[in-house]
Structure 1
């Protein structure tokens, strides 16, 4: 089947849209990884410095939850969830809450208010939310838990604060700004949940401040003995290699392929069946008349000067029309043909014989042929 021009253009358009969508999604992913606090990023907003610093403090006990299925084990004692770019699915929320209930320590941080924050599903599981407040740059520790090493202020640069949605709040403010909790904690089962409404202390830029480093050392006091610290990079997009189904359903290239297949299928379906009777072409309805055929043949013979051919054709037609109805064989010569015809019907034998002879004259011209044809028509009447 030959490809039509519009089908080729359609395929090119679909491929182009797929490439643009994939490029745009990739750029968005890179931008998100750049502005969110991922431990893979060395930008000012990343958390690579924190990851490497903790590796020196507790060597062999710092890991990333990346490029593997989302799961937490009993050997992992503290989980850092820092401004994720992907929202938590219900099954993942259930896994984290069960892990905390069994003794894990969860450290969550974000500077976006609920429900814009991708932490919202996880915060909601602990009856917490992030609400908007006036922009503040520092918070003051108010709980002894942030006193070793001593901490007088904490740089936060945030416009959200932590609030409890439980009827009987169990939230304990650890650091506040104008009475708004910026750092808070609460016990959950055998574990503990720490929420920070700022990402700045965890970032490469924020960790340059001595207060941020002191704050991190205070957080390490909650780390269970001989257990690991884990950074959640799964919800920053660092997921396991996806199978074909996941690529088709979750990636812009896959969406483009499915969209293209659907459009091409509809195009083929629509082009392979008729919804009404086909309209005849103008050339099909405009049939040529027999007169046009005769004129065209006569014109062709005239232009090629085929006078002898036309004369012989007329001579043969004249003999057939005169003798066919009487059964006279056409194989007879002219004299025998004329004699046998005269015995059946009255005819001028001399005139007819002369006419048949003149139609074979080699010097016959166009005017002579027309004269002989008119004479033959008179004989056939």
Structure 2
């Protein structure tokens, strides 16, 4: 076995870089950088929200929209935050079937079209109007972070801390109920100049609505940022999430159209999906270990470009004389012979010591 003291600085640097790259690849394969992503641990992810759901009730992440076919409607809350890709007609039909079975769907969006397309596809009446709301009197970090001070029917929640929110709009005569709204001092910043202009008026804007669709319920939220990691502990956002999840027997996060699931997480879910996949993976793992144990040295020797170590190369004293003479042609023969004899004696002693240690 090679002594660690024989490792050169370039080799050590190469090993360190390899470990760092491998770690980065594994981290990238197990996490997501998608906004509102359940496996995004950054400021704009919802990994903490997934933890809150797991601590409150039975929770899981849907891998694809076909999973709605296996969801029991009654007692199940499905959460869709910031969808960036449209649902197909077949997928919308699956969600409508889930709602007809008594399920609850929370759709959160702000300025993209994905949330409204989903709401229209399932025949909900609420829409997100896409205008930026500000409040010069009731806010957190700045007027662009207004507070929803009117929260109905949620025990322990007095206000929601918002982050560049929009508003929910509903047609007159619908059954939609406003569950949370801004203070009366909020306004829609139509031209986004950060000021209340003459053409803009202050009033309370709906942030969260609730309506019946079929036998189910649709909740429309115009600021999914209340659930991101950096906002969850502002205002009463965490308590709101806990109450929302606590009212359900099951919570399912649908990220099938907003970034999906990281590949390593998907692989782990596949392995855990049943005894057959666990057996196959275990067989491959054991087989790989056996192959490396049996043929590992041969494989390393086959592809290694490292020059043989000095102790692995046996040179006679005459060969050493010839080598030293070529490297130092200006030395006389006696000097070359004396040095060659010393080198041969030293190498012979090193081999003997190595044999005794083994």
Q: How many residues align?
A: 201
Aligned to 1:168: 173
- 1:222–1:239: structure 2 CA closer, same or farther, 3 Å change rule? same
RMSD: 2.8
Q: Deviations over 1:281-338 (max 9, x none)?
A: xxxxxxxxxxxxxxxxxxxxxxxxxxxxxxxxxxxxxxxxxxxxxxxxxxxxxxxxxx
Aligned to 1:137: 145
Find the aligned partners of 2:42 and 2:235 in 1 and give their Cα distance.
19
Please say if residues 163 and 181 of structure 1, whose CA atoms lie closer than 8 Å, have aligned partners that are also in contact.
Answer: yes
Aligned to 1:288: none
Aligned to 1:46: 45
Q: How does 1:1-381 map to 2 (within 5 A)?
A: 34-58=33-57, 61-66=58-63, 69-75=66-72, 77-112=76-111, 116-124=112-120, 125-131=123-129, 132-135=131-134, 136-142=144-150, 144-146=152-154, 148-149=155-156, 151-165=157-171, 168-177=173-182, 178=186, 179-209=204-234, 211-223=236-248, 227-238=249-260
- 1:82–1:96: structure 2 CA closer, same or farther, 3 Å change rule? same
RCO higher in structure (CA 8 A, sep ≥6): 2
Aligned to 1:7: none
Please say if residues 41 and 47 of structure 1, whose CA atoms lie closer than 8 Å, have aligned partners that are also in contact.
Answer: yes
More helix by share: 1
Task: Report the Cα offset of residue 75 of structure 1.
Answer: 3.0
**Structure 2: unaligned runs, 5 residues or longer:** 1-27, 135-143, 187-203, 264-358
State TM-score, norm by structure 1.
Answer: 0.48
State TM-score, norm by structure 2.
Answer: 0.51
Q: Deviations over 1:64-118 (max 9, x none)?
A: 1116745343436110101122111222122212211221011111121xxx421
Please say if residues 39 and 50 of structure 1, whose CA atoms lie closer than 8 Å, have aligned partners that are also in contact.
Answer: yes
Larger Rg belongs to: 1
**Structure 1: unaligned runs, 5 residues or longer:** 1-28, 242-381
Q: Deviations over 1:248-271 (max 9, x none)?
A: xxxxxxxxxxxxxxxxxxxxxxxx
- 1:163–1:67: structure 2 CA closer, same or farther, 3 Å change rule? closer
